[in-house]
Structure 1
Amino acid sequence: MTKAERTRQFIIEKAAPIFNQKGIAGTSMSDVMEATKLAKGGVYGNFESKEALCLEVFAYLSKLTQDEITLKVNAVDTAKDKLYVLLDSYAHRVLKENYGGCPILNFGAEADDTNPLMKQKVNEAIIRFKNRFSKIITDGQASGELSEKFDAELFGLKAFTMIEGGILISKVQNNPGHMHTIIALLKKEIDQFIN
């Protein structure tokens, strides 16, 4: 990495928790300058606009979450274990106090009517999230671990929407128990399709 690339990455990493917690509209470039201890020119020299930085921050947060969960999913062998680890890892990561919640939920809620490019990036992340569930299920069906009656696409959609809703309720009501209930319900459904 060049010095310029390291500086750019440093700005993204420092800005990420701010944007994820305060939102796009609630975060000013002054917040970013304060967090990075860089002057205005140091930030704008690397990002032409707040929107450009937001897109990079969302990509960074999405990849960070995806990479961490991928390591855990790849560490287990069975389809059931992979689905369980996926559910547990996602819920645990986004409910961490210092994480600020789910970037898909946070950025998506704010960008759905105001920022078409961010909306597109969030949509791509949603598709990746749902497809990860679906692929584990179809792989499990191919290996004979899971019933052919298990609708992979439907479960991917259901898991995504229930987890995102669980995150919202858990964060707003400051009660992670809601998320644990949702994860337990999804695991119970998975168990019905184990061969």
Structure 2
Amino acid sequence: MTKGEETKQFIIEKAAPIFNTKGIAATAMSDIMEATKLSKGSMYVHFENKDVLACAAVDHNMKILGNKLQAEMSKSKTAKGELFAYIDFFSNPVTPPIIGGCPLLNFGTEADDTNPVIKEKINNAIKLNQQLIQTIINRGISNKEFNPDWNYAEFATIMFAMMEGGHLISRMSGNNDKMKIIINSLKAMIEENSI
């Protein structure tokens, strides 16, 4: 990495949790300058405006979240274990795996009417998550872990929506009580479709 690339990456790493916590609209370039201790001129050498930096921060948050999730899921030997690991990874929204909470929920709710570029990034990430769940279940069906008639595409949508909804409820209430109900319900659905 060149010195310029290192500085750009440093800015993204410092900006990502700020954007994820405060939101894009509420984050000012002065917030990023304070976190990085860089001048406005230095910031604009690497990012032409806040929107460009916000897009990079969204990508960074998603990458960090995805890497952490994959690391947890890779510890499982079975498809059912991977599904449970996915669920357990998101089981504590009050103390989330990345600073500020779920970037899909945070950026998605903010960008749906305001930022078509970020909206598309989040939409693609949602599709990828549902495809991941479908792929795991499909592999489990092939390995004879799950019932072959399980509608895994439908379940992937249900599971993803319940997890995101649980995240929202938990963050708003400041406790994970409702998320525990969702987790138990999802795991029971998986058990019902296990062989």
CA distance in structure 1 between the aligned counterparts of 2:83 and 2:139, rounded to whole angstroms: 11
CA distance in structure 1 between the aligned counterparts of 2:90 and 2:27, rounded to whole angstroms: 25
CA distance in structure 2 between the aligned counterparts of 1:94 and 1:137, rounded to whole angstroms: 28
Unaligned regions of 5+ residues in structure 2, if any? none
- Answer yes or no: is 1:12 the counterpart of 2:20: no
Displacement, 1:128?
0.9
The residue identity in structure 1 corresponding to 2:166 is: G
Match of 1:57 in 2: 57
- Answer yes or no: is 1:107 the counterpart of 2:139: no
Displacement, 1:91?
3.1
TM-score (norm 2): 0.96
Match of 2:96 in 1: 96
Match of 1:194 in 2: 194
Displacement, 1:122?
0.5
Cα RMSD between the aligned structures? 1.4
CA distance in structure 2 between the aligned counterparts of 1:119 and 1:80, rounded to whole angstroms: 31
Match of 2:31 in 1: 31
Give secondary structure in 1 for the equivalent of 2:77. Answer: coil
Unaligned regions of 5+ residues in structure 1, if any? none
Displacement, 1:17?
1.0
1:101-140 pair list within 5 angstroms = 101-140=101-140
CA distance in structure 2 between the aligned counterparts of 1:22 and 1:109, rounded to whole angstroms: 13
- Answer yes or no: is 1:45 the counterpart of 2:45: yes
The residue identity in structure 1 corresponding to 2:122 is: V
Give secondary structure in 2 for the equivalent of 1:45. Answer: helix
Displacement, 1:101?
1.1
Give secondary structure in 2 for the equivalent of 1:24. Answer: coil
CA distance in structure 1 between the aligned counterparts of 2:20 and 2:75, rounded to whole angstroms: 28
Displacement, 1:149?
2.1
CA distance in structure 2 between the aligned counterparts of 1:183 and 1:49, rounded to whole angstroms: 40
Displacement, 1:143?
1.1
CA distance in structure 1 between the aligned counterparts of 2:108 and 2:177, rounded to whole angstroms: 24
Whether the 8 Å CA contact 2:84–2:187 is kept in 1: the answer is yes
The residue identity in structure 1 corresponding to 2:86 is: L
Displacement, 1:27?
0.4
Match of 1:72 in 2: 72
Whether the 8 Å CA contact 1:130–1:156 is kept in 2: the answer is yes
1:138-166 Cα distance to aligned partner (Å, 9 max, x none): 00001111111221111111111111111
Aligned residues: 195
Displacement, 1:97?
8.4
Match of 2:177 in 1: 177
CA distance in structure 1 between the aligned counterparts of 2:93 and 2:166, rounded to whole angstroms: 13
Displacement, 1:96?
2.6
CA distance in structure 1 between the aligned counterparts of 2:91 and 2:132, rounded to whole angstroms: 15
Displacement, 1:7?
0.7
CA distance in structure 2 between the aligned counterparts of 1:193 and 1:55, rounded to whole angstroms: 39
Give secondary structure in 1 for the equivalent of 2:56. Answer: helix
